[in-house]
Structure 1
C-alpha cells in the first residue's frame, strides 16, 4: 500500500510527459520496478496503464486518417498488429535477467529517437527514398518493437514514413497515433491473457496517467515548446544513464 502513492505520482508525471512530448514510459517503468514489480511485469503493466491515453489520442486524430504515401492504411495496420503480437510474445518469453540486461539499451534507443528522431528523418529524406513494399517490412519490425517495449516508436514511424515522399509530417500524426495504439492493443490483450499484469500498481499508475494527461494538455498550451523539450530530454537522459550505471556498474 505504501507504494501506491509514489506509483500514482509517477503516473501523473508519465501522463503529462506523453501529453507534452512523449516518453512517459521513462517514468512509469522505473517507478514500477522501484515499487518491487519484476522488470518484465513492470514493462507489461506500464504498457497497460498508459494504453488508454494513447487510445484517446488516436480517437482525437481519427478525422485525419488516410494512406501513408502510396501505402494503404489497412496494410500498415495489419503489419503493425502482427508485429505487435510477435513483440508481446517475445517479451513474455524473456526472462527478467535478460530484460534487465537489455533495458538500458532499449532506453538508449528511445532517448536517441526522442532527441534526434526528427533530424535523422530529415537527413535521410534528403538522400534516400524507400519503396512502398519495404515500408510494410519496416512497419512490421516497428510493430515488434512497439509490442516489446515501444519507447518513441511513433517518432520512428514518422521518420521512416518520411522516406516515401515529401508530405507534410504533421499530416502523419493521425496514422501514427492509430498504429502505435494498434501495436499496444494486441500487446495489452496478450499481457492480460497471460496474467502478466500487476493490477494494483497498474490501476494506480493508470489513474495518475489520466490525471497527468489532462493536466499536461493544458500545460502544453502555455509552456514554451523549447522548455518542454529540454525538460523531457534531460529527464529521459538521466533515467537512461541511471539504468546503465545500475545494470553494469553497481
Structure 2
C-alpha cells in the first residue's frame, strides 16, 4: 500500500506505537523502514520517471532541504505534544488529497516548473521529515495541481521524492539514536518487497480505484488516531 498512498506508514506507524515504542522513536523507526520501501516503489515506476525526469531535479533539491529541517524540528518536539498532533496531521493530509481532483478539474493549465510548486514541495518535505505518515498523500495532492497527465505519473514522481525525503531525514535520526533497529530491519525487508510489487500492480489499477483506496486508508487511520488520542 505504501507505493500508492503512503498506506504502509498509516499501518506500520500505529503498530509501532501500539507495541509500546515512544511516538517520536516510532516515527523515526518507521521512516527508516519505509525508506527502503520507497526505493522499491520508485524502481517499479521506471518508465514514468524517465518520461518526467526534467521535473525531478528541482523538486529533489527542495525535498532534501525541507526534510532535513523537518527531521531536526522533530528532535526538539516534546513527546506529548507530538502525540497529540498526529491525528490532526493525518486529517489535514487526507482532506487535501480527497478534494484535490475537484479543485483541479476545471483549473487553468499551470507551468510544471512554476516557482510555487518548488516552494510547496519544500513545505511538504518539512512535513515529511517531521512526520512521515501522510506525506505521500500531500505530495499526490500537490502533484495533482501540476498538470501531470496521469495518476501513475504523479505516483512515480511522488515515490522518487519520498526516497529523498525519507533518506535525508534518516541521517539526524540515526545520529540521535532514536531508531529502534529491532523493528526497522524486518520492516524494511517487507517494505522493499511490498513497495516494488505494489508499484507494479497499481500501475494496472484504474485511477479512480487507486484514489478511492488512498482516501479510505487516510480516513481509517485518522479515525484510529483520534480515538486513541482523545478518547
Structure 2 residue 53 is the aligned partner of structure 1 residue 66: yes
TM-score by length of 2: 0.81
Question: Structure 1 CA distance, aligned partners of 2:214 and 2:148?
Answer: 27
Question: Structure 2 CA distance, aligned partners of 1:221 and 1:74?
Answer: 23
Conserved? CA contact 1:57–1:177, under 8 Å: yes
Structure 2 residue 105 is the aligned partner of structure 1 residue 106: no
Structure 2 residue 207 is the aligned partner of structure 1 residue 207: no
- Which residues of structure 1 form unaligned runs of 5+? 1-16
- The residue number in structure 1 matching 2:107 is 126
Conserved? CA contact 1:117–1:155, under 8 Å: no
Alignment of 1:144-163 (within 5 A): 144-163=126-145
What is the count of residue pairs matched by the alignment?
Answer: 226
Distance 1:101 1:117, change over 3 A: same
TM-score by length of 1: 0.75
Distance 1:156 1:104, change over 3 A: closer
Distance 1:52 1:184, change over 3 A: same
Question: Structure 1 CA distance, aligned partners of 2:29 and 2:63?
Answer: 21
Deviations 1:9-56 (A, max 9, x none): xxxxxxxx1245432111011000011100011011111111111112
- The residue number in structure 2 matching 1:27 is 11
Alignment of 1:224-239 (within 5 A): 230=212, 233-239=215-221
Structure 2 residue 93 is the aligned partner of structure 1 residue 116: no
- The residue number in structure 2 matching 1:46 is 30
Deviations 1:174-215 (A, max 9, x none): 433222211111101221122110110112322333444466
Q: Which moved more, 1:172-181 or 1:152-161?
A: 152-161
Distance 1:92 1:133, change over 3 A: same
- The residue number in structure 2 matching 1:76 is 59
- The residue number in structure 2 matching 1:14 is none
Distance 1:47 1:56, change over 3 A: same
Question: Structure 2 CA distance, aligned partners of 1:233 and 1:133?
Answer: 28
Max Rg structure: 1
Question: Structure 1 CA distance, aligned partners of 2:16 and 2:218?
Answer: 16
